[in-house]
Amino acid sequence: MSRQSGMYIEDLSEGQAASFTKTITDADIVLFSGVSGDTNPVHLDADFAAGTMFKERIAHGMLTASLISTVLGTKLPGPGAIYLSQTLTFKAPVKIGDTVTATCTVDTIKAEKRRALIKCICTVKDEIVIAGEAVVLVPSRKS
């Protein structure tokens, strides 16, 4: 795998995994709000967030989930893969200063269709904050 091309479907094996880790900052939340248009005050307003069940500002769930896209698009399978679908379950909030690790693990390969089902989790310390599955279209050496 080079920086410009990722893995081919023939390179994947069940159980293969890759991760990406990032500490979520205030700037990440503010920038994501601007890009996405999601200005929910639970993300941006400390006074508002203090009155919620979270008691403090939290990161957008989709900001955290975007770390899964980072793994799929840059590591496993990497450049050339096409994200077809994603399921997500949000299990716990991510707060400013939390270090999130997104881990993607190949679950099932359908080589004839060039598809891979990939289990995805995001964790903070040992707690799963997001769990789901992605389906990606992966290039083949044969085509």
In angstroms, the Cα distances linking 47 to 39, 56, 58, 95 are 14, 8, 12, 15
The answer to whether residue 143 sits within a structural domain is no
Question: How do residues 27-86 score in pLDDT, each as one tens digit?
Answer: 999 999 999 999 999 999 999 999 999 999 999 999 999 999 999 999 999 999 999 999
Q: What share of the chain in percent tops pLDDT 90?
A: 94
- Tally of structural domains, the chain: 1
Domain boundaries, position 91: 9-24+60-137
Residue 76, domain CATH: 3.10.129.10
Helix, strand, or coil here: 47? helix
The answer to whether residue 41 sits within a structural domain is no
The answer to whether residue 46 sits within a structural domain is no
The answer to whether residue 89 sits within a structural domain is yes
The answer to whether residue 29 sits within a structural domain is no
Residues pairing with 82 in the sheet: 137
The answer to whether residue 97 sits within a structural domain is yes
CA dihedral 86, 87, 93, 95 (to 10 degrees): 0
Task: Using the predicted structure, report yes or no on whether residue 129 has a pLDDT greater than 50.
Answer: yes
Helix, strand, or coil here: 143? coil
